[in-house]
Amino acid sequence: MRVILNVDAITAPLTGIGRYALELAHGLARHDAIEELHLYSAFHWVDDPAHALAANRTIATLRRNLPFKTHALELYARMRSALFRAHTRRMRGFVLHTPNYILMPFDGPAVTTVHDLSALNYPETHPIERVRFLDRHLPRTLERADRVLTDSTFIADEVHARLGVPRDKLRTIPLGVDPTYRPRADDELQAALARHALEAHTYLLVVATQEPRKNLARLARAYSALPSALRAQHPLVIVGARGWLNRELERTLAPLEAQGSARRLGYVDEQDLPLIYAGARAFAFPSIYEGFGLPVLEALASGVPVLTSNVSSLPEVAGHVGLCVDPFDEDALREGLERLLTDEPWRAEARARGVEHARAFPWSRCVDETVATYAELVARS
């Protein structure tokens, strides 16, 4: 099979979609069934994912800083589509896959991945230019796509029910977890934790972009309601880039940070992040809506007990291993955090079962099932 993969999403700092695109690019390049793979980023072909990461950094900076963002985004999309059509006009027998929602114009079989419908369900939690762009372009993409991939059954059901995508177009392919996310011996953790002034097996970890959908303000309020001695023993540590519309979080975290009960590490590089996971006492991810929730899987694979939400795709990812609570109920969050940090029999069982559960989600499975989807289209054409 011959494949064109759009790799615009491979942009630092890598989010869940960027990680997905990166793993697909690496996996397809190694896959026996892929005879030819071309990577397209922004306006041009790139040699490999590292080249894409460098190229996309410039584009991402321009998009953040240009005025009239909505108009600039539309102009960028039109220019990119025109160039892509010119670059692929003579390419026959290829499957196009965009792992980040919006397809570019292409005359052959096309696959898109829709990770969630958060811009439709929670538009107030996204930059307005992103919402307008998806409102304008996503319906056309869903109509044109020969297959629509989703990360979870929850999102597949939602795409079918809300947007009318036929069931026979939809394929659910879960994301994967890298083998670097695993339990670690204390001596492995020491250097990385020292770089971030962390003490092994004490802190409550959160890994999430600081934006409203991640529900971090409620989590911080629930955490602040824990007994002071428990907070002193188990500080709240948040890893992730600062996002948008997070004034409520700033107000809630300020007193905790002043007391030394909470810290924000910002973006942590990929060398240290798996070690920071493995060094945590517990992990919390109370998002109000996720298409998959990759950090939950990374924490489980690291042998760390997890609290997450009982809504959207998160129970699907956590299975019967994570502690799932109502993310809108601060009392439920507080009680869940207390159990997460103090219930030793439950914690011991959760650590062992979490590692076993995560083994069912290698990235190779995601790549294999994606290639099988391409094969359906090649056989049909």
At 157 the pLDDT is 98
Contact 40, 82 (CB under 8 A): no
CATH of 186-358, picked from 3.40.50.2000, 3.40.50.2300, 1.20.990.10, 3.50.50.60, is 3.40.50.2000
At 57 the pLDDT is 63
* All CATH 3.40.50.2000 domain ranges in the chain, comma separated: 2-176+362-380, 186-358
| pLDDT at 61 exceeding the cut of 90 | no
Other residues' Cβ atoms within 10 Å of the Cβ of residue 216: 29
pTM of the model: 0.92
- pLDDT tens figures, 164-206: 999 999 999 999 999 999 999 999 999 999 999 999 999 999 9
SS (H, E, C) 87-145: HHCCCCCEEEEECCCCCCCCCCCEEEECCCCHHHHCHHHCCHHHHHHHHHHHHHHHHHC
Question: What is the pLDDT of the chain when averaged over all its residues?
Answer: 92
At 42 the pLDDT is 81
- pLDDT tens figures, 4-58: 999 988 887 778 899 999 999 999 999 999 999 999 998 889 988 887 777 666 5
Residue in the block written with tokens 């995560």:
358
Contact 148, 163 (CB under 8 A): no
- pLDDT tens figures, 257-306: 999 999 999 989 989 999 999 999 999 999 999 999 999 999 999 999 99
- Please give the CATH number for the structural domain made up of 2-176+362-380: 3.40.50.2000
pLDDT interval class at 129 (50, 70, 90)? confident
At 59 the pLDDT is 58
